[in-house]
């Protein structure tokens, strides 16, 4: 199946009361693992790359790798730029062929965020590529992204932001953080419900690695339609490799420990897809 944009799959999730799982991939093995999980569960899936991942290997290489993996897939696959840091990077991803773009202006002022986001939305509109933005600041650190202590999304600001930018989906800050949590996160789910009342577009949850299954499910019940997973995939892949090398330190064939990393990621992704409720939702 050729690439699809993220717009319809997320709108379907909004209508159906589930969320699409969006998974950050770093290499060939993680791409293969995420796709294998999606196919086994008949789930729509989004694969994502961050600016630091793009810096590591380039937009062209990730696009080509994921396109090759997805073109014979039985399930819809969208390729998403996660936390696009500036207009130039967003446009490069658009030109390469990414089918979903995030522009993250959450580190800027409210007005600057609106200006940056609308500029990307307007540029992507002729190609019918959906744009995700972030309002409020998801805390924690992942790659080169440092959200510090974070900052909650204000519902009335969210309403104005969506109306003025025309963005397709909105990542909201309700107490989640990038990376692994220290202690138990306390999510402001009532705030999420208030945002849902005044914002009609699909809402996105970042920083889901380490959240309990129930916290994710409750967030979905209150309006989340896309859930991002990144840090725990890296940890799972690395643990799979470590297990092989600890059992046989003389292993030199990358395929052997790569397969272990893949299987570990696949099982994790399948679990997360079931939590999101997107299994058997591929169209």
Delineate the domains of the chain, giving CATH numbers in brackets.
6-276 (3.20.20.70)
Residue 142 has pLDDT above 60, yes or no: no
Q: CA torsion, points 228, 191, 11, 213, in degrees to nearest 10?
A: 40
Q: Is 282 in a helix, a strand, or coil?
A: coil
Residue 90: how many CA atoms within 13 Å on its side-chain side? 26
What stretches of the chain show up as alpha helix (H) in DSSP? 6-16, 28-41, 51-57, 59-70, 87-96, 110-124, 155-165, 189-198, 213-221, 231-247, 254-276
Q: Let me know: does 274 contact 40? Beta carbons within 8 Å.
A: no
Distance CA 120, CA 26 (A): 25
% of the chain with per-residue pLDDT over 70 = 93
List, as residue ranges, the binding site for dihydroxyacetone phosphate: 179, 207-209, 228-231
> Taking Cα atoms as reference points, which of 214, 241, 233, 263 lies closest to residue 40?
263
Which DSSP letter does residue 127 get?
Answer: G
Measure Cα distances from 26 to 36, 94, 95, 116 in Å.
Answer: 16, 19, 21, 27
Look up the pTM and report it: 0.91
Supply the residues annotated as catalytic: 82
List, as residue ranges, the binding site: 83, 104, 134, 178-179, 206-209, 228-231
Residue labelled with tokens 């014979």: 72
Banded model confidence at residue 140, pLDDT cuts 50, 70, 90: very low
Q: What is the pLDDT of residues 177-228, one digit of tens each?
A: 755 545 567 789 999 999 999 999 999 999 887 788 999 999 999 999 999 9
Q: Is 280 in a helix, a strand, or coil?
A: coil
> Taking Cα atoms as reference points, which of 272, 225, 240, 196 lies closest to residue 19?
225
Measure Cα distances from 116 to 94, 122, 158 in Å.
Answer: 16, 10, 15
Residue 275 has phi, psi (to 5 degrees) of: -65, -40
Distance CA 212, CA 185 (A): 9
pLDDT score of 151: 77
Mean pLDDT of 125-143: 82
In the structure encoding, which two tokens stand for residue 176, read together? Answer: 């989640």
Mean pLDDT of 224-243: 96
Residue 150 has pLDDT above 80, yes or no: no
Distance CA 228, CA 222 (A): 16
Distance CA 283, CA 261 (A): 29
List, as residue ranges, the binding site for Zn(2+): 83, 104, 134, 178, 206
Q: What is the pLDDT of residues 111-130, one digit of tens each?
A: 999 999 999 999 999 999 99
Banded model confidence at residue 146, pLDDT cuts 50, 70, 90: very low
Residue 148 has pLDDT above 90, yes or no: no
Mean pLDDT of the chain: 92
Length of the chain: 283
Q: Is 126 in a helix, a strand, or coil?
A: helix
């Amino acid at each position: 199946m050729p690439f699809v944009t993220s717009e319809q799959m997320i709108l379907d999730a909004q209508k159906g009361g589930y969320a699409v799982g969006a998974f950050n991939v770093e290499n060939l093995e993680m791409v293969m693992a995420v796709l294998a999980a999606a196919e086994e569960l008949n789930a729509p899936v989004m694969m994502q790359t961050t600016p630091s991942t793009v810096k590591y290997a380039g937009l062209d290489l990730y696009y080509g790798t994921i396109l090759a993996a997805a073109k014979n897939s039985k399930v819809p696959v969208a390729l998403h730029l996660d936390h696009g840091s500036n207009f130039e990077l967003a446009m490069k991803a658009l030109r390469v062929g990414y089918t979903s773009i995030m522009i993250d202006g959450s580190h800027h002022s409210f007005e600057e965020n609106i200006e940056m986001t609308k500029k990307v939305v307007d540029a992507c509109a002729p190609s019918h590529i959906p744009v995700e933005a972030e309002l409020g600041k998801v805390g924690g650190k992942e790659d080169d992204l440092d959200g510090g202590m974070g900052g909650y999304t204000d519902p009335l600001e969210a309403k104005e932001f969506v109306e003025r930018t025309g963005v397709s989906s909105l990542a909201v800050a309700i107490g989640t953080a990038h990376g692994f949590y220290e202690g138990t996160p306390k999510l402001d789910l009532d705030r999420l419900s208030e945002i849902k009342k005044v914002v009609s577009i699909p809402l996105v949850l970042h920083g889901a690695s380490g959240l309990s299954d129930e916290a994710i499910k409750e967030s979905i019940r209150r309006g989340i339609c896309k859930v991002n997973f990144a840090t725990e995939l890296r940890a799972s892949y690395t643990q799979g490799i470590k297990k092989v090398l600890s059992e046989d330190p003389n292993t030199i064939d990358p395929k052997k420990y790569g397969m272990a990393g893949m299987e570990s990621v696949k099982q994790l992704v399948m679990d997360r897809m079931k939590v999101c409720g997107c299994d058997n939702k591929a169209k």
